[in-house]
Amino acid sequence: MPTALPPAARDALLAWYDARGRQIAFRASRDPYAILVSEVMAQQTQISRVVPAWIAFLERFPTLQTLAAATPAEVVRAWRGMGYDRRALNLRRAAQAIVVEHGGRLPEDVAALERLPGIGPYTARAVAAIAFGRPVGAVDTNVRRVLGRALGLGAGASPAATRAMQAAADASIEPARPGDWTHAVMDLGATICRPRSPRCADCPIARWCRSAGEARPAKRPEPTAKRPSVPFESTTRWLRGRILDRLRSADEAAWTTIDGPIGGHDAAAVTKAVAALASDGLIEIDAEGDRLTARLATG
């Protein structure tokens, strides 16, 4: 079984990317800091929402130094509309670590990048490849699907399967164009090698793919029972977002009364969500008798 895409497949994929790759604003940047911001923002967020938020965030914090010097409240306000707000605080912490430990320059090697707050294996490798031209493979959901199908690696998530996938990604990368290669595999997964009904007839690497023409990967994961769909408004994530939006709309240092219910969440659920947001470092709380007040974290 092959453990990497052959050179001819790499050439075909890059030719396809050159002709049909997605034109996304942040791909034109060569600023390592801007690339880091884009990769953090793109986690679990649609690209259409990332682009305007990325532009606005960099206008507010144009350098690592300005981000490192900002308060949590300023960063969380600038993150409005993106969701998963802990990413914003982790990005600020990473900027502070870069200023203190790396002289204000984003480190180039994967190991140093992974030691930064909130930076995991995927983000570290994506930044290393795109910003610094390091020949390392970044494995996200799209890359895992493309290589899993093409090389017959399956969809397992065990430590051994994860190591095999990372090794395949590293071995498959085009060393002369690691940044473009990273974007190319992601684009192929997002537009052609889709989870359902992949467009194999349009795939530039179909002739080298072990799963071409099949509706699913060569190795199928064990079926799991479907969980019932839950309305987003009933989730804790929705509630946390509404609380943060209320505080974002308040004056910078003002204390705001937070009481329930909010939507379908009763007072107990609201109090629990407020406490969790404070534990995450996103907000500060002050309880006076039966009144609970909060504001975005200031330090």
CA distance 33 to 16: 28
Query: Which of 39, 74, 174, 284 is labelled catalytic?
Result: 39
CB 285 within 8 A of CB 255: no
Alpha-carbon gap, residue 12 to 190, rounded angstroms: 17
DSSP string, 207-225: GG-TTTT-SS-SSPPPP-P
Separation between Cα atoms, residue 8 and residue 298, nearest integer Å: 54
Q: Is 114 a catalytic residue?
A: no
- Taking alpha carbons only, the member of 41, 116, 49 closest to residue 86 is 41
Distance CA 8, CA 51 (A): 33
As a whole number of angstroms, the distance between CA 284 and CA 106 comes to 30
Report the 10 Å Cβ neighbour count for 30.
Answer: 9
Residues 6+ positions from 192 with CB-CB distance below 8 Å: 198, 199, 202, 203
What are the residue numbers of the active site?
39
